[in-house]
Structure 1
Amino acid sequence: MRTGLKNNIAYSFFDPEIGVLKDMIALITPDHVGMFRESYGGILKMVFRLTDCDRSAIHTLLQFYDPGLRARCPWNFTCSLFESGNGQGRFEGKGKLPGFHLSFLEANAKEHAAVGNWKTVCALIAVSIYGIVLFPNQKNFVDHNAIRLFMQRNPIPTLIGDVYYSVHNRNEKRRGGLVRCCSQLLFRWFMGYLPSRGAFVQIDPSVKWSFRLMGLRADDIAWTHNGLAGQDFICSCGSLPNVPLVGVQGCINYNPMLLRRQMGFAIEGPPLGREIQESFYFPIDGNQTKLRQVLDEWRDIQRRGKVPYGKVNCRYFPLFEDWLRKRIESTFLPFPGGDSVCPRIEGPSSSVSMEEFLEMKRAKDQLLAEKAELERSVAHFQAANQEIKVKMEDQDKRHALEAKRFEMDTAYYGKISQALASSNREHDITKEKLFRASKVIEDEKRRQIIVRDQRDDRVKGLIAEWEAKLQVKESEKLKIIAERDHYMAERDHYFRQMKIHQKEVGRLQQENTELRFAAEFARREDEIGPSVGPSSS
């Protein structure tokens, strides 16, 4: 038991056999290396084997992990988007996971290289690197998770999730064990923050990494990379106060409020409790509902940067330093402190003491008070100046208004004179037109009188002619009436004669009937003869 220090945890890492990958990479001719990089980025740089010294560096780094804070720096190693290939093959099974054996992918890559199908060769090599180096699971085996991530073309969130989840999982109960992540990428990322020149680089490789790291100061760390200083970064997702990460094995959140310095912004005070709380930590298997919830949170991403953190300033202030010191006192460091391995270079310090901070605060308050007084004076003078300016503007406006009114009156009178002259001309023209119109009217009246007389004569002639026609029609009407009366009288006489004739015909028919009956009776009597009466005795 080490007093004042926390116990070290024994970590182990995947040790992939990269000989087959090296042979596959050798298939790419120099003319097609550029095509591979354009399609799959710089993942060829990840195909190397960690030395014992490299593993010791990662092992030492992970001893500083604080499970309560998820206290890891952001993953800022840049990977390119990945493009899926069209390699033909078959799934095999290894354990419970389907996938491809590395030898099968190697054989396919050689076949396609022989026929010059370089796009497929590059895809087979890239997916092999995914399964063996970036997302290792089984030795010389590319499982379906690596293939799925290769097809999705965005491995970065999963890489980060693998590191956080696996390290946090191995820190539970300080049990240690195999860290399921890309150790090569973790090593490259870690080395990117350490000094790349000077006394630190010249240290004997046999010196322990614990001694090297404990001898570093904050000024020795390269806090920002790749032009990230001052850029906006993801600070939360959805309703969560932090960012959830989904790895191959499980899901865990990390706290981006602790990475402001890596993004180039000053850390003025300790983080809030909700900013470093545990939002998610669970394995993928059997937690599909939680996984869907995490994926839904990623639909709403919040970013922060210069707003609200201000300009770039990679410093931290006493309040944060006190909080960090108390955190270290409660969680302990894994190694004892040591002397600095890098000589101090005079220059601007990234931190300030409490006395300097208070002095700067007092000076700032005094300057703010003076600024407020000056602002009040300036405001007073500006108000007076504004009042004078307003009065002058009013006078200028009135003068301009009078001048404009005079110009308008002058123009108005000129227009009136022009209108009078024009009116006189129009009056003369109108008189001439009226005279001509009077003559035309008189001529028209005489013509109308003549036309009226002619019309009256014509009307009288038509009336006489019409009256004559009426008399003729009247006589014809009387004649027609007389003829009608004569016809009616003849018709009545005819009807009377017809009735008499009908009566006579009826009488004759009656007599004829009686005569025929009498003749028939006489004929029958003649046929019968005289009748014989009964004899008397």
Structure 2
Amino acid sequence: MHVLMVTLMVTNGSVLGFPGLIQRLLWLSVQCFLCDDGDDGDVSFRFVYFETLSRICGYLVPQMVVISSEIGASGTFLIEILVERLLCSDMRPGLKDDVVYSFFDPEISVLKEMITLITPDHVGMFREMYGGILKMVFRLTDRDRSAIHTLLQFYDPGLRCFVFPDYLLGPLMEDYAGILGIQIRNQVPFYATKEEPDIGGISRALYLSPEVTKGGLKEKGKLPGFHLSFLETKAKEYADLGDWKAVCALIAVSIYGIILFPNQKNFVDINAIRLFVQKNPIPTLVGDVYYSVHNRNEKRRGGLIRCCAQLLYKWFMGYLPSRGVFVLLDHTVNWETKLMGLRAKDIAWTHSSGVGQDFICSCGGFPNVPRIGVQGCINYNPTLLKRQMGFAMEVPPLKSEIQETFYFPVEGNQSRLTKRVEFTRLPFSVGDPWYPLIEESHSSVSMEEFLEMKRERDQLHAEKTELEMSVARVQMANQEIKGKLEDQDKRHALVVKRFEIDTAYYGKVSQALESSTREHDITKERLARASKVIEDKKRRQILVRDQREDRVRVLIAEWEAKLKIKETENVKIIVERDHYLAERDHYFRQMKIHQKEVGRLQQENTELRFAVKFTRMVDDVGPSVGPSSD
């Protein structure tokens, strides 16, 4: 491929580096690129095809232009243009034309900020509920996009997989399930519908009230859904309240709409929401990638790939070598050169945890697996991809299993693949292998040879079984004799060992007795000294005890004398108290007598006062009573 990097400065309709008419045509194309959003939503395209220029200027005019622009002052744009020579089929013999693809470039800064709301204690809860979708929140670099773009050049619409020089690759549902840590459920798969959103089901899945859910649903691109800002606000509110189930659900549905099933910028549409509620995204993810790639590869027209590019990148990188020459290659080596240097033996076929396990090879009455994506329905052919699950392709698949009409003769897989490559052609020239080739015998044979070898193998297996039985009988007899000899040797060894143990034991006993005698003499001396010390201590203890007893007797006598004095004083106090009580009682009796006398005198005084008042009243009334004497 002949490539020329040209940096242009576009200012007010002028292009530096191209003369006259080419300037105006390029300027019009750039204006169209910058102003027109296209029919694919709010997506920033990185690849543009200038058909007008190629017709005017021949093979030196750009066929593919990669533009990365930053708006400067006064309408100035800095544009980097990758100019590729227009190579026709006659200039690239045996190779098919390149197809230009573009991918969604979601803004993940908001998602990154939302993910920081999950505390380390609740990351495990998120993983248990929604799998490993957090690792899908990353932005593809230009080199990552180049890897996917190169991979898509190998897509074969007839086989519905990626055809390389001597091997096939294609995303399996089991591959995606292993990457995301989400199980494939046995249920009716998702299909797009125009029915009204199920407010109740969405509310339960997001742990929101029906009123909040209904109020948050908006319309964009003729589809209802949630704006990412709404989900971010609610996630922060529930994080402050400590409702971590709601926080995890809101973050998960945001990843579904922005990363796994992208459609509109910063908008989670109803299809992504229904997939989140259904909790079975794997079949739809696989359907999206096959349908979108197949649709854009039709007639080699290219365009926007509507699938999760991050997941497709992770899947592809999993099969590439992780060590050796391939990893040590300089980063400036382009992907087509790197991939064309790989062979089937270099691919990491066993990197998946599901290798060797059962996988979905057909569905219902279909000979292959039909998948319904968000944009459409398509089938893919797992029978061609058995090697990715650790199985060999011993017989060719039926025509119905791959839904193709081309002839598939009964021969080795490698020859069939070679003919398919010759028929469809590869996008790049085959380079030298990165890893040395090892001479090996052919593993693919015809069916007749295979059946003959199988019969011979069965016959040899029967003969081997008889020989093994004979050998087993001889070995059993030999084992019995050998066992008897070993028993005798063991008994003799035990006797010798027991004699050695007894001899050693008696020697140790003699040494122990001598040592014990010496220790006994030393102990007797220590005991005599200790007895003397004890007798001295006893005499001192007796003397101290006598002194203490004398002191106790003296103290007892002193306390008894003091006690007698206190008893005498107490008797005096009691006598004085009794005398005081007797005087108090006498005083109270006299007081009662005086009170009675005072009461009697007061009564008499009252009676006398009444008599005096009555007498005065009689005297005052007396002269006016009775007839006059005149």
Q: How does 1:150-189 map to 2 (within 5 A)?
A: 150-189=276-315
Q: Separation in 2 of the partners of 1:361 and 1:177?
A: 48
Paired residue type of 1:5: L
Q: Separation in 2 of the partners of 1:375 and 1:120?
A: 64
Q: Separation in 1 of the partners of 2:457 and 2:160?
A: 40
1:142 match: secondary structure? strand
| 1:148 counterpart (234, 249, 274) | 274
1:21–1:128 contact (8 Å) kept in structure 2? yes
| 2:252 counterpart (126, 136, 155) | 126
Mean Cα deviation higher: 325-334 or 109-118: 109-118
1:149 match: secondary structure? helix
Paired residue type of 2:154: F
Distance of aligned partners of 1:360 and 1:241 in 2 relative to their CA distance in 1, 3 Å threshold: closer
How many angstroms does 1:215 deviate by? 0.4
| 1:113 counterpart (223, 239, 243) | 239
Question: Which residue of structure 2 lines up, in the alignment, with residue 58 of structure 1?
Answer: 148
2:411–2:446 contact (8 Å) kept in structure 1? no
Question: Which residue of structure 2 lines up, in the alignment, with residue 342 of structure 1?
Answer: 435
How many angstroms does 1:343 deviate by? 4.2
Q: Percent identity?
A: 66
**1:67 maps onto 2:157 in alignment:** yes
Distance of aligned partners of 1:333 and 1:124 in 2 relative to their CA distance in 1, 3 Å threshold: same
Distance of aligned partners of 1:142 and 1:359 in 2 relative to their CA distance in 1, 3 Å threshold: closer
Paired residue type of 2:430: G
How many angstroms does 1:373 deviate by? 9.2
2:95–2:429 contact (8 Å) kept in structure 1? yes
Paired residue type of 1:323: R
1:318–1:352 contact (8 Å) kept in structure 2? no
Q: What TM-score, normalized to structure 1?
A: 0.58
Distance of aligned partners of 1:203 and 1:361 in 2 relative to their CA distance in 1, 3 Å threshold: farther
Q: Separation in 2 of the partners of 1:170 and 1:37?
A: 34
Q: How does 1:17-416 map to 2 (within 5 A)?
A: 17-71=107-161, 72-75=170-173, 76-77=175-176, 78=178, 79-81=180-182, 84-87=205-208, 88-89=212-213, 90-277=216-403, 319-344=412-437, 352=442
Q: What TM-score, normalized to structure 2?
A: 0.50
Question: Which residue of structure 2 lines up, in the alignment, with residue 430 of structure 1?
Answer: none
Mean Cα deviation higher: 158-167 or 353-362: 353-362
Q: Which structure has more RCO (C-alpha within 8 Å, separation ≥ 6)?
A: 1
Distance of aligned partners of 1:99 and 1:57 in 2 relative to their CA distance in 1, 3 Å threshold: same
1:68 match: secondary structure? coil
Distance of aligned partners of 1:364 and 1:29 in 2 relative to their CA distance in 1, 3 Å threshold: closer
Q: Separation in 1 of the partners of 2:145 and 2:463?
A: 62
Q: Separation in 1 of the partners of 2:103 and 2:262?
A: 10
Q: 1:287-309 deviations in whole A, cap 9, x for unaligned?
A: xxxxxxxxxxxxxxxxxxxxxxx
2:111–2:251 contact (8 Å) kept in structure 1? yes
2:291–2:373 contact (8 Å) kept in structure 1? yes
Structure 2 unpaired stretches of 5+: 1-88, 162-169, 184-203, 468-630
Distance of aligned partners of 1:163 and 1:278 in 2 relative to their CA distance in 1, 3 Å threshold: farther
2:285–2:373 contact (8 Å) kept in structure 1? yes
Structure 1 unpaired stretches of 5+: 280-316, 378-537
1:352 match: secondary structure? coil
1:229–1:262 contact (8 Å) kept in structure 2? yes
Q: 1:180-199 deviations in whole A, cap 9, x for unaligned?
A: 00000000000000111121
How many angstroms does 1:353 deviate by? 6.3
1:165 match: secondary structure? helix
Question: Which residue of structure 2 lines up, in the alignment, with residue 516 of structure 1?
Answer: none
Q: Tell me how many residue pairs correspond in the alignment.
A: 338
Q: Greater CA radius of gyration, 1 or 2?
A: 1
Q: 1:433-477 deviations in whole A, cap 9, x for unaligned?
A: xxxxxxxxxxxxxxxxxxxxxxxxxxxxxxxxxxxxxxxxxxxxx
1:318–1:353 contact (8 Å) kept in structure 2? no
1:24–1:125 contact (8 Å) kept in structure 2? yes
Question: Which residue of structure 2 lines up, in the alignment, with residue 518 of structure 1?
Answer: none
1:48 match: secondary structure? coil
2:206–2:249 contact (8 Å) kept in structure 1? yes
Q: Separation in 2 of the partners of 1:331 and 1:48?
A: 35
1:102–1:141 contact (8 Å) kept in structure 2? yes
Q: Separation in 1 of the partners of 2:116 and 2:402?
A: 47
Distance of aligned partners of 1:375 and 1:194 in 2 relative to their CA distance in 1, 3 Å threshold: closer
How many angstroms does 1:228 deviate by? 2.1
Mean Cα deviation higher: 361-370 or 178-187: 361-370
1:236–1:243 contact (8 Å) kept in structure 2? yes
1:200 match: secondary structure? helix
How many angstroms does 1:354 deviate by? 6.9
